Chain A
């Protein structure tokens, strides 16, 4: 509980409408995009400018009150879940696009600016911001930096870390960090990379300078159906080995295809085990050359049907099914739980087979949607939260999938972050020395552990407890083994 004295000081820093602590005002902030995790915040602060952010942090530091930063609240790992006794610092009101420099191809924006709003503002200059997480209509750039968000174009265009140039950020004791800027590099350690994906644990961002890219002259997509998931997986590797880096390379399994087709009627072939969508973009002539190569490789890789979108309308239709895959799968069951592991692409057939076996074991259906180009797997576990044990079983199944990803040389999170959701699996992915070092990195910025406490990096004693549970459950017996 926060003291009345603290709350009254907080109110003095902000206009009245920027501090919420009535229960009905707090409810919208009790979870982020992962609604299974809920906690009503003690107080919500909605600063309207950078000076207010700095003042709030200083006050919290002085009173040793924790701070959980939140952007648009679309995160999928409970990273912005309120913490008891903390201030929920909502940066949504810092939503101005401060500058767009078309010649230097940069945009300088406040953290609450929506991802897609940047591309919209840059569109008249023929430029756009490349990372496109599926929540891009709603998610904010500050949250994108905190999570190092990806999207469907990562293989070619990278994640957030590859597409930002500078940050203004504040430490918990109210010091301004000016990191990077308008040049392509900065002296000293790469703190830009360290802060990107740090899940609000190191500093609070108040400004981001992003890179803008010229809009590709042309984009074209090829759809290919396969009778066998392993063949589709091999085709992905063959396309890359042929020297093509697709802008997007997506794969869906049978259940995902059928759900998507029933939902949006994208015209997908239904009598197949796997569907690949391969989009190439760039200079007109390059796209023609790549489409030719991709079709040849898909044929040689055993595709039973190959279609090339011949118009923009058809391209969007091909994508409509993939983009609607999550809600489409959502129609098959009362609830679904989306996982976010990454694996080396070559492990795909093995991983899908094991997921199939686990699906039978848990009695829960699973649809697989895969950013095949960059190895990011999104299994959607279908369950019914109204069934006793429904959510718990889905979470256990999900945890097993993530451990499998680590086992084959991958990672527990490709783009959604650890947050609170995957904090247990951090003990599987990292051994004690690395986890210790993460805590020390945190301490270098925030020795009192006031920023987003309890998220992203597990306490070591918690790993020991969970490790014991794992052995009991017959799961990975040696979570301390390095398996990266």
Chain B
């Protein structure tokens, strides 16, 4: 199954042809523009192994996230980092259950996916986020500050590097300190270090109950509350603030959720599962508010969670207990990066036209050298997703 990919990458390296790795195409907006021949992973599907008692799932990179999540849900388990799918998708039932469940077609291509021939430049529906794409992008959803990020759940990967060499790192066990942690290095590398072909993940039980509460609070008070509550033994699993409304999710045993609710007060939000899914997938109207024909971009400022209000306008949505501030802004990249740095973090142009030095905050010179050194070792020909992470490699 992998031979075709190995041959393709070897040939591309020999001819110096840049390749653009494409899974479901749901995150093509993310990172810098890259050009090259499309290397589609959609034929690399199937759950290879799933042992609920071991809390480990291994699947090929092109497997749709939705398929994996449905399989896990059958066993009462989940991907705790809540990877975003993006694009329009059916919303869950009010009780949080999925509307449909698909059985994994181990080793087969799911019927509803276009069967792309090798290298075929078929535009996939932008709704089929894949496992490989999620790991390569390294993005996580609302549960991230309380349960961990994509990188925290990766136990092992198989990749094909830029010279066509298949490699495997990590494994299927939770504790493993043999060798450098190359598996996690792949998370968020946006395919620039190798084509991810298979991923092993730690999965977790779904909480027995979830309740979402809302509070009317101004921005400074909301930031303070989110941080104070995170420092107390409360079953928090997501937080959001927008337009004067703090929204907070509690997860756990029914008795624990009830006790926390009694303590915190607030109004119960109905249809909460849909609220969090829309936020995760950015299908909430806020994320489309960029004025057409303007320089506005959707910026993601990842900051110290206690950072005070940034005063960059009202088009703001706070997530992750204060650690992420989404902004719709036409401010200069340098301005936003400075603000983010002062706030203890960094700024990413998430959607919109990237500045000339790229969508991500430029690295310090020593870090930049290390990035290029690593890129050189994993992809000596510089053919994989060239420029997607940083324009210079």
Contact = CB atoms under 8 A, between A and B. Distances in A.
Partners in one complex: yes
Interface of A: 101-105, 125-127, 147-148, 150, 154-155, 158-159, 161-162, 171, 175-179, 181-191, 193-194, 196-198, 201-202, 214-217, 237-238, 240-241, 243-245, 282-286, 288-290, 342-346, 371, 374-376, 409-418, 422, 426, 429-430, 433-434, 437-438, 440-445, 456-457, 482, 484
A189 B193 contact: yes
B261 to A, nearest CB: 11
B177 A148 contact: yes
B348 interface: yes
Contacts of A182: 303-304, 344-345
Contact of A457 (B53, B179, B252, B324): B179
Contact of B303 (A183, A202, A430, A433): A183
A185 B302 contact: yes
10 contacts: A104-B305, A154-B175, A162-B148, A189-B371, A285-B253, A289-B208, A289-B255, A342-B175, A429-B179, A445-B370
Nearest to B229: A214
A282 B235 contact: yes
B127 to A, nearest CB: 25
Given A177-B370, A426-B178, A104 B306 contact: yes
A158 B148 contact: yes
A132 to B, nearest CB: 14
Given A282-B233, A444-B373, A444-B377, A289 B173 contact: no
B310 interface: no
Task: Give the most central of A175, A184, A413: most B CB within 10 Å.
Answer: A184
A191 B306 contact: no
A285 B53 contact: no
Contacts of A443: 373, 377
Nearest to B194: A437
B269 interface: no
Contact of A286 (B151, B176, B256): B256
Contact of A441 (B182, B256, B258, B344): B182
Contacts of A202: 180
Contacts of A237: 53-54
B72 interface: no
A260 B232 CA distance: 36
Nearest to B303: A183
A187 B53 contact: no
B334 interface: no
Contact of A183 (B152, B170, B231, B304): B304
A197 B177 contact: yes
Interface stretch (B86-94, B115-123, B183-191): B183-191
Given A238-B53, A440-B377, A484-B156, A103 B174 contact: no
Given A177-B367, A190-B185, A126 B232 contact: yes
Interface string B302-315: 11111000000000
The 10 closest A-B pairs by CB, nearest first: A183-B345, A193-B184, A237-B53, A182-B344, A414-B175, A444-B373, A289-B253, A285-B255, A182-B304, A243-B205
Nearest to B301: A183
B389 to A, nearest CB: 7
A442 B180 CA distance: 9
Nearest to B304: A182
B76 A158 contact: no
B56 A344 contact: yes
Interface of B: 51-56, 75-76, 138, 144-145, 148-149, 151-152, 156, 161, 165-182, 184-185, 187-189, 193, 204-206, 208, 224, 227-228, 230-235, 252-256, 258-260, 302-306, 320, 323-324, 344-346, 348, 360-361, 363-364, 366-367, 369-371, 373-374, 376-378, 389-390
Contacts of B172: 344, 409, 484
A256 to B, nearest CB: 19
Contact of A175 (B180, B189, B366, B390): B366
B175 A376 contact: yes
Contacts of A285: 253, 255-256, 258-259
A82 B156 CA distance: 32
Among A104, A176, A196, max chain B CB count under 10 A is at A104
A127 B344 CA distance: 21
B54 A158 contact: no
B184 A194 contact: yes
A185 B179 CA distance: 23
Nearest to A441: B180
A216 B174 CA distance: 23
A337 to B, nearest CB: 18
Given A282-B233, A283-B233, A103 B227 contact: yes
B346 A415 contact: no
B58 to A, nearest CB: 11
Contacts of B256: 282-286, 289
Contact of B231 (A125, A243, A410): A125
B252 A286 contact: yes
Given A104-B227, A188-B367, A345-B54, A283 B175 contact: no
A445 B372 CA distance: 11
Contact of B144 (A184, A343, A429, A438): A184
B171 A484 contact: yes
B177 A283 contact: no
B302 A105 contact: no
Contact of A412 (B178, B367, B373, B389): B178
A214 B168 CA distance: 36
Nearest to B258: A285
Nearest to B234: A283
Contact of B168 (A148, A411, A482): A482
Given A126-B231, A344-B54, A418-B177, 15 more contacts: A105-B227, A175-B366, A177-B370, A187-B360, A190-B189, A282-B256, A285-B255, A286-B253, A286-B256, A344-B172, A411-B175, A411-B177, A429-B179, A434-B169, A437-B167
B231 A105 contact: yes
Contacts of A288: 253, 255
A411 to B, nearest CB: 4
Nearest to B173: A342
Given A102-B231, A409-B172, A443-B377, A194 B181 contact: yes
Nearest to A106: B304
Contacts of B181: 148, 161, 193-194, 196-198
Contact of A162 (B152, B165, B363): B152
A184 B302 contact: yes
Given A161-B181, A433-B167, A484-B171, A240 B53 contact: yes
Nearest to B306: A104
Contacts of B149: 184-185
Contact of B204 (A214, A245, A414, A430): A245
Contacts of B168: 434, 482, 484
Nearest to B159: A437
A194 B302 CA distance: 21
Contacts of B260: 283
Contacts of A437: 161, 167, 182, 377-378
Contact of B175 (A215, A374, A442): A374
Given A104-B304, A289-B255, A438-B179, A181 B344 contact: yes
